[in-house]
Amino acid sequence: MIGEDLRARVTAWIADDPDERDRAELTALLAAATAADSDEDADVDAAQAAEDLADRFAGRLQFGTAGLRGKVGAGPNRMNRAVVRGTTASLAGWLRYVNPAATEAGVVIGCDARHRSDEFALEAARVLAGAGIAVHLLPPRQPTPLLAFAVRHLRAAAGVMITASHNPPADNGYKLYLADGAQIVPPADLEIEAATRALGPLAEIPVSGGDDPLIARHDDQIARAYLDAVCAGAQAPKGAAWLRIIYTPLHGVACELALRAFEQAGFPPPDVVEAQAEPDPDFRTVAFPNPEEPGTLDLAIAQARRSGADLVIANDPDGDRLAVAVPDDNATGGWRMLTGDQVGALLGAYVLGRAGGDADRAGGDAEPRRPLVATTIVSSTMLARIATEAGAAYAETLTGFKWIARAGDLRPECRFVYGYEEALGYAVGTAVRDKDGISAALAVLGLAALARSGGESLLEAYDALEAAHGVHLTGQITVPTTVPVDVMSRLRVTAPTELAGQPVLSVSDLTGGTADLPSADVLRYTLPGARVVIRPSGTEPKIKAYLEVVEPVIAGRLDEARHAARARMDPLREAVRDLLAS
C-alpha cells in the first residue's frame, strides 16, 4: 500500500519528531498502512490510513498569505510541534542575518484558543530563546490584532501569532509579522521558507526550557495600551447609550477585549450570545466559524430578533474580522448581513468625515497631510468615489492586508486613515497595521449611533452613498480546481472578447507587476460599467472571480438602478462561471 521511499521518510520523521503524541500517531498510521500492504483482505480503514499517511508526507506546509496554515496532526504537511520548531529555527536564523539587533529587540508571540495553540506558542518561544533571541510571550487566548499591535508597541523585530483565523476546527496556523507590525511580504517569506527546506535534523536545533530568562511573559499591560490606542479616537457620540447591540465572538478569543473596548469608548454593553461567548476550538454551534458563511450568524440574529436590537456585530475566532447584520423588512426573517464592500464603504465615508477635522501635522505650521484610504483590486470601487468627493487620496493594492497596511508607506505625503478588503477586514487608523475587528466594531458603533441620532438606519446611510455615487453591486464566484495554474494559463492564451454579451474593453495581466502593483497571478477584465478580476486562491485549490457592476442613479431612482444592476450581474456571473469551468 505504501512504497519504500514513503516508508523511509515516515520512519525518519518519527525518529526526529520532538513530540511523543505525534510520534505515536505516525507510528499507528504506519502500522495500519503496512498491514494493508501485507494483507489482501485489509479493510477500508487500513487503506484510508495509507492514504492519510501519503497526504501527510506529500510535501511540507508552505507559506501562504502570511505564514503557515493546515490541519493539526503529525507529519510535514500538518501543523505540529516539529513543523513549528523547524519554521521558528529558520525565522531565528533569518532574523539574526538581516537584523543583528533582533536578539535584543526580540519576537512577540501570541496564540488563540485553537487546538494546541498554547503548545505551539511555547515551542516557538523555546526555539527563539534557544537561538539567543528575546521573546515577548503574550497571555494565551488573545486576538490577532493585539499581537500585531504589540510588535510595534514593544519595538520588536518580528511577531508570531499561532492562529488559523476562521478556518475549520481541525486547522491551526503560524502567522508572521515583521518589525513594522504588518504581515510578512516577499522576499522575507520566501527566504524563511527556503531556510526551512534546508534545515538539518530537528534534534540539532537548540531549544531552551520554558523558564528561560529570555522569555518574558507579559500580563495585561499590552492589552491596556492597545485599548488606549484604539479607543482614543473612537469615543461614543451622543445618543450612543440608546443603541441596542447583539455581539458574538463565534467561540473565539475576542470577547473580553472587545467588551473592554466598548466600555472604555463609552458604548453601552452589548447583549452577548452566551452560547458562543467562551472560546471553543471545536466551534460547536456553527457549521463553519467564518462569518462570511451563510448561517454562521443565525444564533445572533435570532437573539436580535427577540430583543428588538438595532444591529448585530460579530468577530471571527481570532478577532481580526468583523461582520455586521441589520434589520431589513425586505429580507427573509427580517434581518440581513451587510457585505464587506457595504461596510467598507460606510466606514470609509465615516472615517473620512472625521479625518477632515483631524489632519496630522508634521509640526509647527506644516501643511496637514492628505488622508489616504486604501482597498484591494477585488473590492468595490465605491471607496474611490467617496475619497474623491472628500478630497482624500486613494490607493488600490493586491489582496491581503500585508499590502493594504503598507499603502501609506509609498505615499509619505499622505497619512493612512483607513483600509478594507471585501472579506470583512477593516483597518481604522494606524494603531494596528492589520485588519482589526475590534477597532472596526467601535467605528461601526459610532456610525450607527450617529445615524440613529439623525433618524437613520445603517441601511439608509448606505442608500445615501449609492444615491450619491451610483449602485456598486459586487459578487464572487469560487470554482474548485486541482490545477489553478492550468486555468490561469488557458485564460492567458485565449482571452475572452465578450462576457454576457458585453465587450471586454481591456485585459490586464498583473504577471510582472505594474507601476503601482507588484507581480501577481491576476487577470482583470474591464467591461462597460463592469469589472471582473480572476485569481487563484492563496490557500486552497480554487479559482476565484470577483465581479462588480456599476449603475448610475438617475434622478434619485435608486430602486431602478439596483434592479438594472442585478439584471446585468446575473448573466455576467453565469458567463464567468462558464469561462472558468470550460
Residues 476 and 562 in one domain: yes
Using only C-alpha atoms, the chain has a radius of gyration, in whole angstroms, of: 25
Rounded Cα gap, residues 167 and 142, in angstroms: 17
The question of whether 165 is a catalytic residue gets the answer yes
Residues 189 and 88 in one domain: yes
Residues 460 and 491 in one domain: no
Out of 305, 336, 367, a domain closes at 336
Per-residue pLDDT tens digits for 36-52? 545 555 555 788 889 99
Residues lower than pLDDT 70 in the chain:
1, 36-44, 356-367, 538-539
Residues 66 and 192 in one domain: yes
Angle separating helix axes 458-469 and 340-355, nearest 10 degrees: 80
Rounded Cα gap, residues 376 and 535, in angstroms: 13
Residues 328 and 381 in one domain: no
Enter the DSSP assignment of 320. S
Out of 154, 189, 219, a domain closes at 219
Domain count, the chain: 5
- The residue annotated as part of the active site, out of 90, 165, 380, 439, is 165
Residues 25 and 96 in one domain: no
Residues 485 and 508 in one domain: yes
**Residue 524: strand pairing partners:** 508, 533
Residues 161 and 67 in one domain: yes
| CB neighbour class for 285 (10 Å; exposed up to 12, middle 13-18, buried from 19) | middle
Q: Which CATH number goes with the domain that contains 386?
A: 3.40.120.10
Cα angle 388-389-391, degrees, rounded to a multiple of 5: 65
Task: Choose among 119, 122, 316, 145: nearest CA to 223.
Answer: 145
Cα separation values, 471 from 7, 380, 383, 462, Å: 59, 10, 12, 10
CB 362 within 8 A of CB 338: no
CA dihedral 542→145→117→77, nearest 10 degrees, is 30
Amino acid letter, 14: I
Residues 170 and 195 in one domain: yes
Residues 108 and 183 in one domain: yes
Amino acid letter, 51: E
Task: Choose among 2, 464, 260: nearest CA to 11.
Answer: 2
Rounded Cα gap, residues 390 and 381, in angstroms: 15
Rounded Cα gap, residues 103 and 116, in angstroms: 27
Domain housing 198 = 61-219
Residues 253 and 287 in one domain: yes
C-alpha cell at 346: 460606510
CB 236 within 8 A of CB 49: no
Per-residue pLDDT tens digits for 545-579? 999 999 999 999 999 999 999 999 999 999 999 99
Out of 12, 36, 58, a domain closes at 58
Residues 477 and 457 in one domain: no
Task: Choose among 431, 459, 499: nearest CA to 228.
Answer: 431
Stated pTM of the model? 0.94
